[in-house]
Structure 1
Amino acid sequence: MNDTSGRRDFLKLGMAGLAAAGALTAVSAEKAAAQAASDSVLRTALDRGKLIVGTGSTNAPWHFENDAGELVGMDITMGRILAKGLFDDPTKVEFVMQDPAQRIPNVTTNKVDITIQFMTMSAQRSQLINFSRPYYVEGVALLTLPSSENKTFDKLLAGGSATRVSILQNVDAETSVHYALPQAQVMQIDTQANVLQALESKRVDAAAVDLSTVRW
Structure 2
Amino acid sequence: MKKIYSYLLIALLILVLAACNNSNNNESANEEETAQTETKSVIDEIKERGVLRVAVFSDKPPFGYVDEKGENQGYDIVLAKRIAKDLLGDESKIEYVITEPQARVDLLKSDKVDIVLANFTVTPERAEQVDFAHPYMKVAIGVVSAEKSPISSVEELKGKKLIVPKGTTAETFFMKNYPEVELVKYDQINEAFEALKDGRGDALAQDNALLFSWANNNPGFTVALPTLGELDYIAPAVKKGNTELLEWLNVEIEKLYEEKFFTKAYEETLKPAFGETIKADAVVVESKVE
TM-based fold match above 0.5: yes
**Equivalence for 2:83:** 82
Greater share of helix residues, 1 or 2? 2
Task: State yes or no: 1:209 paired with 2:206.
Answer: yes
Question: Cα deviations across residues 12-35 of structure 1 (Å, max 9, x unaligned)?
Answer: xxxxxxxxxxxxxxxxxxxxxxxx
- The answer as to whether partners of 1:143 and 1:207 remain within 8 angstroms in 2 is yes
**Equivalence for 2:94:** 93
1:190 to 175, 187, 192: 187
TM-score (ref. length: structure 2): 0.55
1:157 to 148, 155, 161: 155
Letter in 2 for 1:105: D
**Equivalence for 1:113:** 114
**Alpha-carbon distance between aligned partners in 2 of 1:175 and 1:98, rounded to the nearest angstrom:** 19
Question: Cα deviations across residues 89-131 of structure 1 (Å, max 9, x unaligned)?
Answer: 1111111112222211111111111111011112222222211
TM-score (ref. length: structure 1): 0.72
- The answer as to whether partners of 2:64 and 2:118 remain within 8 angstroms in 1 is yes
Bigger relative CO (Cα 8 Å, ≥ 6 apart):
1
SS at match of 1:105: helix
**Alpha-carbon distance between aligned partners in 2 of 1:53 and 1:183, rounded to the nearest angstrom:** 37
SS at match of 2:111: coil
Q: Which runs of 5+ in 1 are unaligned?
A: 1-36
Q: 1:207 to 1:81 in 2, by over 3 A?
A: same
Q: 1:101 to 1:158 in 2, by over 3 A?
A: closer
Question: 1:66: Cα distance to partner?
Answer: 2.1
* Greater Rg over alpha carbons, structure: 2
Question: 1:177: Cα distance to partner?
Answer: 3.7
Aligned residues: 176
Question: 1:144: Cα distance to partner?
Answer: 1.4
Q: 1:159 to 1:129 in 2, by over 3 A?
A: closer
Letter in 1 for 2:58: S
Letter in 1 for 2:100: D
- The answer as to whether partners of 1:57 and 1:63 remain within 8 angstroms in 2 is yes
Identical counterparts, % of pairs: 24
**Alpha-carbon distance between aligned partners in 2 of 1:172 and 1:120, rounded to the nearest angstrom:** 7
Supply the RMSD in Å over aligned alpha carbons.
2.4
Q: 1:180 to 1:158 in 2, by over 3 A?
A: farther
Q: Which runs of 5+ in 2 are unaligned?
A: 1-37, 214-290
Question: 1:159: Cα distance to partner?
Answer: 5.1
**Equivalence for 1:176:** 173
- The answer as to whether partners of 2:143 and 2:206 remain within 8 angstroms in 1 is yes
Letter in 2 for 1:153: S
Letter in 2 for 1:123: P
**Alpha-carbon distance between aligned partners in 1 of 2:151 and 2:115, rounded to the nearest angstrom:** 40
1:23-102 to 2 correspondence within 5 Å? Answer: 38-102=39-103
SS at match of 2:146: coil
